[in-house]
Amino acid sequence: MNNQQQLNKQEKIKLLKRIIRDYSIASEDILLILEGKKERIGHLDRLKLIQRRIESYPWFTVRKLVPVEDIAKILSNDFLARLRFPSLKRNYEFLKERLQGHISITG
């Protein structure tokens, strides 16, 4: 897997299935939630899916799964408070500050 390229559909599904083993969700539905085309399935919504990715994978993998612009939009104080690990909170708070200076966030 190359750090400079986006993941293909099968690579995304493989990574996502690792972090949602406790859900019985079809692969296509996982991608629809990730892409924001489906709001939720059961208790799993896009924010929870992104939170699990952030808590499970390094930044370079997360970045391949979610566009940086989308990450910048979801990094609210409420979202950051949901992260389980203090070190991740600090790292993503720093990232939020850096992204706000470089990406136009609307909405």
The string of pLDDT tens digits covering residues 64-104 is 888 888 899 999 999 999 999 999 999 999 999 998 877 65
22-65 confidence digits (pLDDT tens): 778 888 888 899 888 999 988 889 999 999 999 999 999 999 88
> φ and ψ at 40, to 5 degrees?
-165, 160
Whether residue 5 has pLDDT greater than 80: no
Helix (H/G/I), strand (E/B), else coil: 88 = helix
Residue with tokens 């929870």: 48
Cα(65)–Cα(62) distance, integer angstroms: 5
